[in-house]
Amino acid sequence: MLTIDRVSTGRALVPDELFAVLTARIARDHPELAADLPARIMDQALAFLAACATATEPLGPSDLVDIGWHTFILDTREYADFCQRLAGRFIHHQPDPPPDETSPTAPEPLGVPISRAVALIRAAGFAVDQELWGGATAECEAKCNQRHAGCHDSPTR
């Protein structure tokens, strides 16, 4: 497992060539994004995954950061190698089950606060791009409950 010693950007966790491929894929798949966003999104997705590597509870990304996670996980070999190197395990992308309106016992979404991810990213020594996290801060822990489509990591899998 990799020990992170005050890495300032998520981008530093992967080779430049891989970062370029991933950001180009984000730009291609999301032409609506401003030109600077794909690199920022991927940087924050990598920092988020670094936080997931040591988290003991599920973490959820913001909508924009989730784009980076989805993009990276599609490159299964690189993603699996990254997870093994960083976390010593595969970091699963676990969506909450969709609500079943016909079942009174359907599970509720986890409601993982974005602020928890932001706090752990900072604690791991990574810069946080506030704009990509919807302005989430540790102070909004009690009221921030947003996640993209119920996506979160599953540290117990």
Token output for 11:
């981008």
In-domain check, residue 53: yes
Domains in the chain, number: 1
In-domain check, residue 3: no
Q: Look over the chain and give the mean of its residue pLDDT values, rounded to a whole number.
A: 82
Does 149 or 152 have the greater pLDDT score?
152
The domain containing residue 113 runs over which residues? 10-98+108-153
How confident is residue 113, by pLDDT bands cut at 50, 70 and 90? confident
Which helix (H) or strand (E) segment holds residue 99: the answer is: none
The pLDDT tens digits for 3-15 are 555 558 999 999 9
Q: What is the pTM of this model?
A: 0.77
CA dist 109 and 111 (Å) reads 6
In-domain check, residue 57: yes
The pLDDT tens digits for 65-75 are 999 999 999 99
- pLDDT value at residue 24: 98
In-domain check, residue 139: yes
The pLDDT tens digits for 116-146 are 999 999 999 999 999 999 865 434 433 334 4
Bridge-based pairing state of the strands 93-95 and 151-153: antiparallel
In-domain check, residue 120: yes
In-domain check, residue 67: yes
Mean pLDDT score, 13-22: 98
Contact 41, 74 (CB under 8 A): no
- pLDDT value at residue 21: 98
In-domain check, residue 124: yes
- pLDDT value at residue 120: 94
- pLDDT value at residue 94: 83
Does 27 or 98 have the greater pLDDT score?
27
Q: How far is CA 87 from CA 13, 25, 51, 52, in A?
A: 12, 24, 9, 8
- pLDDT value at residue 49: 97
